[in-house]
Amino acid sequence: AQTYLNRALALEPDNRTAVFNLAVLYERQGMTEDALKAYERLLNLSADGEIRKQAEQRISLLNRAAGIR
């Protein structure tokens, strides 16, 4: 899945759905730093609505789990 998401992002770097799915994938694989970077990237893409809200929640949860913020 990671390969396909990266290919999609190579073709369309601002694809918010692909960035979000990549962040979730990283998170599930225990790749916390990569997940945080992907969620931050999603916020930088000016995502709005539900995707932005979910990204903000996941960032908060990951940071708390890591003892940050």
Interval 9-61: pLDDT, tens:
999 999 999 999 999 999 999 999 999 999 999 999 976 788 889 999 999 99
> What integer pLDDT is reported at residue 69 of this predicted model?
58
Question: Within 13 Å, how many C-alpha atoms sit on residue 9's CB side?
Answer: 18
Count CB-CB contacts under 10 A for residue 65.
Answer: 9
Count CB-CB contacts under 10 A for residue 19.
Answer: 25
pTM for the full model?
0.87
> What integer pLDDT is reported at residue 46 of this predicted model?
72
> What integer pLDDT is reported at residue 37 of this predicted model?
96
